[in-house]
Amino acid sequence: MKPTSPHWSFVDFAAQLADLKDDRYRQLLALTTLIEVLVDKGIVTAEELRLKSEEMEEELDRHLR
């Protein structure tokens, strides 16, 4: 039987939020690791990543206006 108390709903929501934070952390760690490997191997430079990031951000801004 599932609890129906509003308190349990809050606890469930807090647990879901904690799971999302953990997932986000793991995704960010994986992405950061991948970027570091690409830079270390000379496949891409930090400057290229910075420029591409700026370009993509500007494009997103244009689409959101």
Residue 31 banded pLDDT, cuts 50, 70, 90: very high
Reduced to 3 states (helix: H, G, I; strand: E, B; else coil), residue 42 is coil
pLDDT of 55: 97
pLDDT of 23 > 90? The answer is yes
**Alpha-carbon torsion angle 40, 44, 48, 52, nearest 10:** -120
Domain assignments of the chain as residue spans, ordered by start:
7-64
Q: Phi, psi at residue 11, to the nearest 5°?
A: -60, -40
pLDDT (0 to 100) of residue 4: 67
How much is the average pLDDT of 9-37? 94
When the pLDDT of each residue in the chain is averaged and rounded to a whole number, the result is: 92
Amino acid identity, position 37: V
Question: Rounded CA gap, 22 and 3, in Å?
Answer: 25
> Which of helix, strand or coil describes residue 41?
coil
